[in-house]
Chains A and B, each alone.
Chain A
Amino acid sequence: MSTTASNTSRSRGKAPGGERVADWADGRLGIYTLAKSNMRKIFPDHWSFMLGEVCLYSFIIIILTGVYLTLFFHPSMNEVEYHGSYVPLQGQLMSEAFNSTLHISFDVRGGLLIRQIHHWAAVVFIAGMFVHMMRVFFTGAFRKPREVNWLFGFLLFVLGMFTGFTGYSLPDDLLSGTGVRFMEGAILSVPIVGTYISFFLFGGEFPGGDFVARFYSIHILLLPGIMLGLVVGHLILVFYHKHTQFAGPGKTNNNVVGMPLLPVYMAKAGGFFFLVFGVIAFVAAIAQINPIWAIGPYRPDQVSTGAQPDWYMGMAEGLIRAMPGWEINLWGHTLVLGVFIPLVLFGVILVAIAAYPFIEAWVTGDKREHHILDRPRNAPTRTAFGVAWLTVYFVMLIGGGNDIFATHFHLSINAVTWFVRISYFVGPVIAFIVTKRICLGLQRRDKDKVLHGRETGTIKRLPHGEFIEVHEPLSQEQLHTLTAHDQYKPLELGPAVDENGVERKVRATQKVRAKLSEAYFGEESQITKPSVEEYKEITSGHGHH
């Protein structure tokens, strides 16, 4: 205290140390203006808006633990004899990669825990991205201006899958080696270039001596580098677009209702990071993941049953397992459709969900910005499409684990596979129809609630003996929330002939668009929301029947 006082008295006007440091930094970095405009940035409150945060934090956890693992991992396929502390592998020949992973697991302080945190965080990270993506999808948060950010997110999901896959392959254990062999098979099935790509990737015949080192640089440098860039871009766009919010009183397309970034969200987000870290560390502390010591080192002549990839590659596994083993032999060349078709479908299924926002935008022709989220029931076709897509995805996950399902539910693996094959075609159709009906039912209920109020469960008997249930009118806020959404009208192509009776030329794409638009917004696909007139008419009179 005394020093500060004497300082101030000695040199008047000289700022305190902290301020001078801040000034120095601001003069060179320009933080102040940036911070000033962003510190009070508002974020809305909803648990589903925190799914992205789960992903971000698990990504950070993966990077931190991954750095620790690189300190001890040797990305080499040189053969060594094991002399570590795990008895059942003593004297076995294995690659240096496997040896160093055993070393991390048994002989590095905290190594096994860090390995397990790293792996569990990856499982949670990609699952989190999946759920986050579905949240964005079902609430229509991908609409203008957020289409690019949707694609960033999608790319993060796909890159996450491949980063996970390359990481899972690094220990060079029997399970991941089988997975790499699987991938090699998929590459080989590509017509003409497949063999070349495989030889290029593995530096010759599989497995060669190169792939661990190559996967290592892909896993720790290339893919995470791109992902980090995309994450930053994703966050910048979230800031730039501002966050979406659910409809409600006081919430419009032009405002964001919530809490400021500083101090509220900074504290919340900081706390949430530690909660995420805590949960993942707890899971990693109580549950084993990828026990490579039990699985053993990879040898191309060995294989274990139940050889599956991590869950995010399960869809690819399922497609291959469900696909009949078709192949065509022509002029001495083999086209392995049994593997190539699943490979193509894998891409098609992923691209389908990524491209959906653009298809919907084309159908609606809506060029407006949307910052208010849809309730899934108010976009029945989109919701139904999403559920159909999820059905395909999860059917294929079952397909990927068909042997585990067979043994644990005492079923025939052939029956499980046939179930998957049929469900792949029938499941999404049923899911689409059922979901759409449920959405329409919910829309009807909303309409009923708006017009007739909430059922109170109170039964009254009228003087003439009739029993009625008392309906309580909704509050203004509730009425607003239930009726805030827009409803599109189906696209009309206009009259088939112009004023002179000459047939108008309508482009084929426009016809398709009109058909789709009818399917989206026709009478069959949405319940017209109650109008003000309807509401007045019903509420003005006494009694409503």
Chain B
Amino acid sequence: MKKLSARRRHPLAALVVLLLALACTGGLYAAFAPAEKAQADDTAQSLAIDEGKKLYTVGCASCHGTGGQGGSDGPSLVGVGAAAVDFQVSTGRMPAATSQGAQVPKKKNIYTQAQIDQLAAYIASLGAGPAVPTKEQYGPEGADIAKGGELFRTNCAQCHNFTGKGGALTKGKFAPSLTDVEPKHIYEAMQTGPQNMPSFPDTTLSEQNKKDIIAYLNAVNGDETENPGGLELGGLGPVSEGLFGWIFGLGTLIAVAVWVAARTAKAKKS
């Protein structure tokens, strides 16, 4: 201590103290970082909500009202949750064209994921609703494909067809094809029930059930689907099969018959 005390007037002492103080502060900062980060996140959250509100005012308010309360052209968004926003906006369904047909179709999404998250944050702030699912929720790990198939045939196939090729509803509405739809969006659709689709909250179809259904769809209507037997012909059943049979089955055979009949044996003149 004497040694230290003797040098307290050293020209560099102030520098050492400063370094120590900085290290201390740095250390403390590092130690308390999570708490502070959370605080920072809060501000980010409110920032996201503010940004989301701006995006909302530009892209959504004309139909859904300035505060998401809904209007003559669009339903209230209070309580629909972030999952609904993520589904509708990232599949391009929202914002919808001013004059759409019977049903808002899927189209090109014009927002970045960051913007969608901001919008979702704003809408979620209006009232509690389902959150955007995480990868663990819709990922394939721990899913029972066969169970998913059974659930799909029980709950989904009557509109979306047995492997999710889509189908018709009344008056021009339709259940869209589920080919190339991202697992996240399928999960969100089940959770929130967009447009004509009924919603399947966790009380109806549990998280595990949803995971199973997504895994089944991926198995029968995904990129790596094994499809024995040749061309699928749209996977629509007997209508396309009948058309194919008439045109390429019987059509070819008639062409062959014409060909055979045109090549008749020439009788020898004797």
Contact B235 A294 (CB under 8 A): yes
Whether B142 is near chain A, meaning CB under 8 Å from some CB there, is no
Whether A324 is near chain B, meaning CB under 8 Å from some CB there, is no
Contact B239 A401 (CB under 8 A): yes
- Encode B20-51 as 1/0 by CB contact (under 8 A) with A: 00000000000000000000000000000000
Whether B228 is near chain A, meaning CB under 8 Å from some CB there, is yes
Q: How far is the CB of B163 from chain A (nearest CB, A)?
A: 5
Whether A532 is near chain B, meaning CB under 8 Å from some CB there, is no
Q: How far is the CB of A106 from chain B (nearest CB, A)?
A: 7
Contact A304 B250 (CB under 8 A): no
Whether A459 is near chain B, meaning CB under 8 Å from some CB there, is no
Contact A90 B146 (CB under 8 A): yes
In the bound complex, what is the Cα–Cα distance between A36 and B101 (angstroms)?
73
B interface bracket (residues with beta carbon within 8 Å of A): 35 or more
| Residues from chain A with Cβ under 8 Å of B245 in the complex | 120, 123-124, 127, 283, 289, 311
- Encode A275-297 as 1/0 by CB contact (under 8 A) with B: 11001100111111111001110
Whether A356 is near chain B, meaning CB under 8 Å from some CB there, is no
Which residues 108-164 of B sit at the A interface, judged by CB distance below 8 A?
A: 145-147, 149-150, 153-154, 157-163
With A303-B157, A306-B236, A414-B171 as known contacts, state yes or no: A124 contacts B253, CB within 8 Å: yes
Contact A287 B244 (CB under 8 A): yes
Contact B153 A304 (CB under 8 A): yes
> Which residue of B101, B169, B235, B249 is within 8 Å of A283 (Cβ)?
B249
| Residues from chain A with Cβ under 8 Å of B163 in the complex | 294
Contact A123 B242 (CB under 8 A): yes
In the bound complex, what is the Cα–Cα distance between A238 and B233 (angstroms)?
38
> Which residue of A305, A310, A410 is within 8 Å of B161 (Cβ)?
A305
- Encode B216-257 as 1/0 by CB contact (under 8 A) with A: 100110000001111111011111111111101110111011
Contact A311 B168 (CB under 8 A): no
Whether B175 is near chain A, meaning CB under 8 Å from some CB there, is yes
> Which residue of B101, B166, B232, B239 is within 8 Å of A288 (Cβ)?
B232
Contact A272 B260 (CB under 8 A): yes
- Pick out which of these stretches binds chain B: A44-52, A184-192, A220-228, A449-457: A44-52
In the bound complex, what is the Cα–Cα distance between A404 and B157 (angstroms)?
15
Q: How far is the CB of A398 from chain B (nearest CB, A)?
A: 10
Whether A201 is near chain B, meaning CB under 8 Å from some CB there, is no
Contact A304 B168 (CB under 8 A): no
Contact B219 A50 (CB under 8 A): no
Contact A264 B170 (CB under 8 A): no
| Residues from chain A with Cβ under 8 Å of B174 in the complex | 406-407
Whether B265 is near chain A, meaning CB under 8 Å from some CB there, is yes
A interface bracket (residues with beta carbon within 8 Å of B): 35 or more
Contact A403 B250 (CB under 8 A): no
In the bound complex, what is the Cα–Cα distance between A105 and B228 (angstroms)?
9
In the bound complex, what is the Cα–Cα distance between A287 and B238 (angstroms)?
13
In this complex, what residue of A is CB-closest to B263? A268
Contact A294 B260 (CB under 8 A): no
In the bound complex, what is the Cα–Cα distance between A318 and B254 (angstroms)?
27
| Residues from chain A with Cβ under 8 Å of B262 in the complex | 47
Contact B257 A47 (CB under 8 A): yes
| Residues from chain B with Cβ under 8 Å of A295 in the complex | 162, 237
Contact A175 B237 (CB under 8 A): yes
Whether B58 is near chain A, meaning CB under 8 Å from some CB there, is no
Whether B102 is near chain A, meaning CB under 8 Å from some CB there, is yes
| Residues from chain A with Cβ under 8 Å of B1 in the complex | none
| Residues from chain B with Cβ under 8 Å of A336 in the complex | none
Q: Which of A271, A290, A291 has the most CB of B within 10 A?
A: A291
Contact A259 B265 (CB under 8 A): yes
Whether A499 is near chain B, meaning CB under 8 Å from some CB there, is no
Whether B15 is near chain A, meaning CB under 8 Å from some CB there, is no
| Residues from chain A with Cβ under 8 Å of B257 in the complex | 47-48, 50-51, 53-54, 272
> Which residue of A45, A53, A404 is within 8 Å of B239 (Cβ)?
A404
Can you identify 11 A-B contacts, CB atoms within 8 angstroms?
A53-B257, A105-B228, A286-B230, A288-B228, A291-B229, A299-B154, A301-B154, A304-B237, A311-B246, A314-B238, A406-B168
Please give me the 3 A-B residue pairs with the lowest Cβ-Cβ distance, nearest first: A311-B242, A305-B167, A123-B245
